[in-house]
Amino acid sequence: MAGVLMFVMIMMGVNGNAGAISRADFPTGFVFGTASSAYQFEGAVNEGNKGMNIWDTFTRQPGRILDFSKADIAVDQYHRFKSDVDLMKYLGMDAYRFSIAWSRIFPNGTGEPNQEGIDYYNSLIDALVEKGIQPYVTLYHWDLPQALEDRYDGWLSSQIIEDFGNYSYTCFKAFGDRVKYWVTFNEPHGFSLHGYDLGIQAPGRCSILGHLFCKNGESSTEPYIVAHNILLSHAAAFHTYQHHFKVKQDGHIGIALDANWYEPISDKDEDLYAAKRAIDFSIGWFLDPLFFGRYPHSMKALVGNRLPEITPKMSKLLMGSLDFVGVNHYTSLYARNDRTRIRKLVLQDALSDSATITTSIRGGVPIGERAASLWLHIVPWGIRKLTRYIKDNYRNPPVLITENGMDDFNGPFIDLRTALQDVKRINYHRDYLSNLSAAIREDGCNVQGYFVWSLLDNWEWNSGYTVRFGLYFIDYKNNLTRIPKASVQWFKRLLLKETNI
């Protein structure tokens, strides 16, 4: 009950705050950066002795990607990282969050490290450090080596914990003298559900409507098994770092969670509880074990024995196994109680376990203007409510906004002049940053950094090249030329401590 009362206080006590914004509105030492992932940026899938990963396999299945594209080239950062680092320097960014492709370090998932892969990331890290840009490294951003998927079904096996620990150790050893911030996993909640419940992302497992959409999988159990193994892998990496590298390297370990804010659709108790459950089944799924050594009570009650047990030994390993919380936040939704549970009866999957229905509409009015993606509504006040929720429920830990941004449509009939005048993106970042500043200054939230998704337009998973998130326009028809959008100058002014209106 106390948790719900806290939730109500947050809901009622936070208002939007937008207007002029400058770097001076953030604490000294606050980090601004951009974010990326290896699979969406690097390309060079068959170079440097890189092994296949589950997304290489997934994109070759017909109908999986909206525009039938692959990320074999992506935006070719593998070959163009030095000039991309120059773009970051021009912007005035403090940091760059990128991921390491596991299959570049271990082409077969395990065994002897691939020196060509290590050399590539050393070159990228050195280029960043030379320009005064701090590397923030994600160890796993969805691209599991295909060899491990073939060998033992990847994240469904507890063997992955040992193999991820070995991979992490190798990365800490090779790069930790210069990398001081490590993110173990990117969006484990989304990865577990999209890959093993809905089957819409790699490895594409599900059992919805009798395996109508997927050949293999069990949607009611596998997401929980995968998430459990991710949590234990995260803890293994954290303790490996503490034991072998912390004293000498003095780095920090965190995890990046996909985190919508869920606003109760009404002030009825049932909807207040529903919104709280929606949060329990998203960030609570991971933060409760990492802070309290257990899964949320609502998950235990609704999932029952399908939820893996956290033993006392596991609880001890999990509790406190992070130095910061990464938050990938883009949008907010309304939540209401699912009274009938018809969806659960029909789908028999994990996503319907929370007994919550989420929607972007209330009384016929959208929660916010939509970006290009159907799921992305622009709701600046949500980031303030979310960070305050984390402060009040998880002892105000250090938080990094590890991703935030919006997309525009990409199409053959959109002219370059229009694409470069991305005023909507400027307004998005201005308003989200204004609310984030208020969360820090007025609410006391311990937020220490903000990473824009993304520096460049890029290959966007199931959407392929149909949307653009970048500050820089990628001319896919002209040698992947990087062209600055209006948002580049806006951020440059912000980061040079000038006032942005």
Dihedral angle computed from the Cα positions of residues 342, 344, 345 and 349, in that order, rounded to the nearest 10 degrees: 150
Domains held by the chain: number: 1
- pLDDT value of residue 210: 77
**In the 3-class helix/strand/coil scheme, how is 304-364 assigned residue by residue?**
HHHCCCCCHHHHHHHCCCCCEEEEECCCEEEEEECCCCHHHHHHCCCCCCCCEEEECEECC
Of residues 342 and 272, more confidently modeled: 272
Report the C-alpha gap between 191 and 478 in whole angstroms: 33
Percent of the chain topping pLDDT 90: 92
Q: Is residue 189 part of a domain?
A: yes
CATH classification at residue 96: 3.20.20.80
pTM: 0.95
Domain of residue 399: give its range: 25-495
Q: Give the pLDDT score at 12.
A: 46
CB 403 within 8 A of CB 255: no
For residue 6, tell me if it sits in a domain: no
Residue 18 lies in a domain: no
Mutual angle of helices 269-279 and 2-13, in 10-degree steps: 100
- Checking if the pLDDT of 439 tops 60, the result is yes
- Whether the predicted pLDDT of 1 surpasses 70: no
pLDDT average, residue stretch 430-440: 98
Reported confidence tier of residue 412, pLDDT bands at 50, 70, 90: confident
Residue 17 scores a pLDDT above 50 = no
Mean pLDDT of 39-64: 97
Dihedrals phi, psi of 376, to nearest 5 degrees: -105, 100
Output the six-digit token pair for 105. 């370090």
Q: Say if residue 9's pLDDT is above 80.
A: no
Asked if residue 424 belongs to a domain, the reply is yes
Give the pLDDT of residue 408.
98
* Residue 9: inside a domain: no
> What are the pLDDT digits (tens) for 328-382?
999 999 999 999 998 888 889 999 999 999 999 999 999 999 999 999 999 999 9
- Mean of the pLDDT values across residues 414-433? 97
Local confidence band at 133 (pLDDT 50, 70, 90 cut-offs):
very high
pLDDT of residue 186: 98
Confidence of residue 273 (pLDDT cuts 50, 70, 90): very high
pLDDT at res. 18: 38
How high is the pLDDT of residue 4?
52
Is residue 7 in a domain? no
**Per-residue pLDDT band at 212 (split at 50, 70, 90):** confident
> Is residue 11 a part of any domain in this protein?
no
| pLDDT, tens digit (0-9, with 9 covering 90-100), for 285-304 | 999 999 999 999 999 999 99
Catalytic residues: 187, 403
Give percent of the chain with pLDDT exceeding 70.
95
Phi and psi torsions of 482, nearest 5°: -90, 125
Look over the chain and give the mean of its residue pLDDT values, rounded to a whole number.
95
At residue 8, the pLDDT reads 47
Residue 307's pLDDT is: 98
Which pLDDT belongs to residue 3?
57
Q: Give mean pLDDT, residues 413-434.
A: 96
Statement: residue 128 has pLDDT above 50: yes
Specify if 501 maps to a domain: no
- Please enumerate in sequence order all residues whose Cβ is within 8 A of that of 375, keeping only pairs 6 or more positions apart, or say none: 331
Reported residue count of the chain is 501
- What does the pLDDT look like over 449-464, one tens digit per residue? 999 999 999 999 999 9
Residue 69 half-sphere exposure toward CB, CA atoms < 13 A: 20
User: How many Cβ atoms sit within 10 Å of the Cβ of residue 366?
Assistant: 14
